[in-house]
Amino acid sequence: MLLCHGFTGSAKSMIGWAKHLEAAGFRVQLPCLPGHGTSWQELNETTWIDWYDCADDAFATLQTQCDQVFLAGLSMGAALCLRLAQQHGPSVSGLALVNPVINISDPRMRALPILRLALPSLGGIVNDIAKPGQDEWGYQRLPLRALYSQTFLWADVRRNLGRVDQPLLVYRAIHDHVVDPSSVRLIKAGVRSSDQSYVELERSYHVATLDYDAEDIFDGSVAFFRRLTKEADGTAE
pTM: 0.96
- What does the mean pLDDT of the chain come to? 96
> CA 91 → CA 20, 34, 60, 152, distances in Å?
23, 24, 10, 24
pLDDT at 236: 58
Q: What angle do CA 186, 192, 194 make, to 5 degrees?
A: 120
Enzyme catalytic residues: 75, 176, 206
Cα of 222 vs its chain's centroid, Å? 16
Alpha-carbon span 84 to 39, nearest angstrom: 26
Alpha-carbon span 2 to 29, nearest angstrom: 5
What architecture (CATH level 2) is domain 2-231?
A: 3-Layer(aba) Sandwich (3.40)
pLDDT at 237: 53
Query: Residue ranges of the alpha helices (H) in the chain?
Result: 12-23, 40-43, 48-65, 76-88, 112-118, 144-159, 182-190, 214-233
For 146-187, write each residue's pLDDT tens digit.
Answer: 999 999 999 999 999 999 999 999 999 999 999 999 999 999
Alpha-carbon span 88 to 86, nearest angstrom: 6
